[in-house]
Structure 1
Amino acid sequence: MVTDEIVLDVKGLTVDIATPRGTLHVVRDISLQVKRGETLCIVGESGCGKSITSLSMMGLLPKTAKRNSRVFEFLGEDLTRATNSRINDLRGNRMAMIFQEPMTALNPAYTIGDQLTEHYRHHRKASAEEARLRAVELLEKVGIASAAERLGQYPHQLSGGLRQRVMIAMALMCGPELLIADEPSTALDVTIQAQILRLLADLQDELGIAMVLITHDLGVVARIADRVAVMYAGQIVEEGAAADIFAAPQHPYTRGLISCIPIPGKTIPGGKLGTIPGVVPSLIGEMKGCAFKDRCAHAQARCSETIPLHKTHQGQQWRCVMNEMNPSGAGQ
């Protein structure tokens, strides 16, 4: 159940990376909030800055990246002033992350049991036996049979679906209040993907976790999201309740993404799906106006100027020079 308690509050987040060609503006002035029990899905094409956004929330950016923000609060605590020691106390404990590819996120040299229990013992000062019992409990909770036996296995001995479940169990070991999941069902078959998404939803309801789900799959978004933030070229171009975004998308990029989804009963078998022409622009150097203008069928001269933010009474907001788009104009 979604409550009014704000778990994560971010305003004006930017991430810049210095390169030989100039400064790469990976994330450009984004703001978002996540409440307890709520699922916020950040969606967009590959290269739009979704994963870097998730890593910045966890303080896991590469050394070459520089993060800045006007507000960055976790349960009211100002993390812009927090020491590295304090961030380490929170990370893996009250804030946890499920990484995109479990085969590379899990260490092949250590058993599943070692990797599950290490941070639990560190954060909770627990004994080896207490940590082991907690690991077995979580593996069973995420649907892994013979959980005690799995603790002695290595990542390569598990299937992709089981490795992803281990990653979820690892993230939940310390009972986090914020869970960030970066494409948790990527590379899994459709059946396992559905199981993983249902598992995340059930665990969230049971534990009251605030969740940020990073994905490029709008089908996943439709099944699990309470709110959606559509990201393009390092910016959030549209945000709102999931039902509003799917029923009445306002930004032309959002419309283009939705037009690419096959609709059962409406999309003709073998027919063409919608497409968005062009590619995501380079994020090196200064970018003026709307980053989507070179791919947009509705682009005009004023798209190179400051882009206004529009907002409905229901809270849906988008950045576009047009106050309301023609619903039939998606992806044209």
Structure 2
Amino acid sequence: MSEDNTEPDIWVLRSGYYECWPSWSDENVVSVGWPIGCLRDLHEEADTTSESKSKIKEKLDEKHDMDKHARNSAAGTIRTVAGIRGSDRNFQQGDYVIILGKPIRGESVIHGVAELKKYRYDGDKTDVKEDAHPYVWDVNFCAKGSVYRSDLEEEFDGSVPKSRQTLIRKTELGQEFISAIKDAIDNCDTVDITDEHFTHSSIDEADLQRYISEHQNKLDSRLDQNTLSREVSVGDDARIDFRGKTPQDDLFLVEVKAETASTKAVDQLDHYKNKADSNRPDSTQIISMLVAPDFNEAALKKAAQKNFLTRQVHLEARFEDVDRDVPTTEPSA
């Protein structure tokens, strides 16, 4: 809770594209990843808060392949969780966290509500794997679901917070809301969950976009990774999921789908390409790519006819080229 506010802060924390809820529930913790070492040590080594922020961003650039937007978001999140961002913008003992989970059978869930107890840096986890979560808060769970968010929305007329970010502070919510949401979780029917729901099969479009931001080198070797931006306007009200450039200044457009891509997705990408085409220099090309877990045959055929690249993202978030009968040709000028 902030120093000038006796009410605890309330946060909404997503449980990650590598679904963390089972371990959080078992261990009575919440956590975030992007391991770069002990943040408080980095902070104490810096002379100013601004220098501390810069050092953390530099470390993220060194250890994680992500664009500027994703890096800034990650830096803000881990600084908030580690308590080095500013007195009114930090996780603090006594604050509450609403845990927003992945969709289950197509519906979003809230796993529970936790009160923050004590922060710790679990350095051992950084040696395990890239997606380790070393920035940890021990918590006391006030309520555990998991319950469908729509059930709570019916209870509170839409007041249950939504977030596509990893972490968001909800200053407009108060202690009464926490009490009400705990009661609602206790009284709602619990979602029937099996282990299969906590695999990468529950990745949604926002998770895929975030993963691509952090692992853009997996997209295409021609892409200049310093140029990839997310949710970019290509004209009028059209916004492509990703836009970047090659070293030759050719434009790179990427549209992402979390479900099997159909011809409708190809048409959408074509619409964005046409918008961007009207504004590009004559000396450059446009490379268009559609990324999805799978493609139906009609979508693959149509994409090939338009010289669009198709990249299949596996449920564990790996990329590979999609085999197709139609020969691949170079993008037209």
User: If the length of structure 2 is used for normalisation, what is the TM-score?
Assistant: 0.26
Q: Of the two structures, which has the highest relative contact order with CA contacts closer than 8 Å and spacing of 6 or more?
A: 1
Query: Which structure's CA Rg is the greater one?
Result: 2
User: If the length of structure 1 is used for normalisation, what is the TM-score?
Assistant: 0.26
